[in-house]
Amino acid sequence: MKVLPALAAGLLIGAAGARTAPQPPASARDQPAAYMCPMHPDVRGKAGDACPKCGMTLVAAAGDYTPYALDFSLEPRTLRPKQTTHVDFFVRRPSSGAVVRRFESVHERLFHLFVVGRDLEYFAHLHPVLRENGSLGVDIAVPKAGPYELVADFMPEGGAPQLIHRAVVTAGYTGALSAVPAVAPDLTEKTDGNMRVRLTPPDPRARREQLLTFELRDPASGADVTDLQPYLGANGHLLIASADFAAVFHSHPVAEVSSAHGPTVVFQVLFPQAGMYRLWAQFQRGGRVATVPFTISIEEPTPSGALFQGARGTRQPLSVSHRST
């Protein structure tokens, strides 16, 4: 089965917003190579230490922050709505092009895949399986014709954390491939299964670190959720995408200010530019994962409020006091 790059006539469209060359946080550049947190690269320590912000075990610090390449193939080669398609990903080293066969575990998985519709309606969080030849395979099934983003979050052994996305379009779609959906702000409470979720309205300003606070309640009784279960090593996951997909990032809670078992889960994020953003928050209770979407309108900061410049549209290193991912 031939591996396809991110451009093939009628089937695949080029990478949208692939990670720019990752750089270590300024606070980490002057530190000797040691062990670092995969989600908070400025946190350093020794083998066996845990990150004080998210609790993850530190891994060997990256010596090279050059972006890796990501190829993928489809079987069958045409993605069709409501039909199962197998996807194989191949991660390649930037210097040699060799296929990577070893990855660090990040939140209990080697590879996190988010499948997101470009209309921001469809969302799936999947975990491809690593094989001996270095391929990472998973089955996907999308609900309707259209373009979709495949967002890959992983950390090659010896490399830096990577967040790369590729785009694919189904058969039967005749619309624009890069149209930006017209979405409206939506902060209403959401219910999925045994979880009702409320998002505290954030400070809607770009280039400013801020907290997103989620309050979890039982939809039947209205009581606070106090039996939240870890989901993939964290008490919550959050994927955020701008409406034009110029910025995509995957975040995890700040353990210092979140409740271990609910009802409050807090993320810290930085929106790199003004615009509309769709958020998908995931929490687990009673063995069931709830996924709830919200939409936020982010504005340009006032001149006196621009506290951070030069943000990238991928996972950002944040301040020591309130970091997320």
Q: What is the pLDDT of residues 145-187, one digit of tens each?
A: 999 999 999 999 888 899 999 999 999 999 998 889 999 999 9
Together in a domain, 156 and 240? no
* Euclidean distance between CA atoms 70 and 90, whole angstroms: 6
pLDDT at 8 exceeding the cut of 70: no
Together in a domain, 17 and 100? yes
Predicted confidence band of residue 62 (pLDDT cuts 50, 70, 90): low
163 strand-pairing partners: 153
Together in a domain, 16 and 137? yes
Predicted confidence band of residue 189 (pLDDT cuts 50, 70, 90): very high
- Could you report the per-residue pLDDT of 292-306, keeping only the tens digit for each? 999 999 999 877 644
Print the domain residue range for 264: 190-305
Please report whether residue 135 resides in a domain. yes
pLDDT at 14 exceeding the cut of 70: no
Together in a domain, 158 and 205? no
Please report whether residue 92 resides in a domain. yes
pLDDT at 321 exceeding the cut of 80: no
Angle at 86 between CA 239 and CA 142, to 5 degrees: 50
Percent of the chain with pLDDT over 70: 80
pTM recorded for the entire structure: 0.79
**Phi, psi (rounded to 5 degrees) for 292:** -130, 135
Q: Does residue 263 have a cis peptide bond before it, meaning omega lies within 30 degrees of 0?
A: yes
Together in a domain, 147 and 17? yes
Burial category of 11 from C-beta neighbours within 10 Å (exposed 0-12, middle 13-18, buried 19 and up): middle
**Phi, psi (rounded to 5 degrees) for 214:** -110, 130
Average pLDDT of the chain is 83
Please report whether residue 294 resides in a domain. yes
- Could you report the per-residue pLDDT of 237-267, keeping only the tens digit for each? 999 999 999 999 999 999 889 999 999 999 9
Count of domains forming the chain: 2
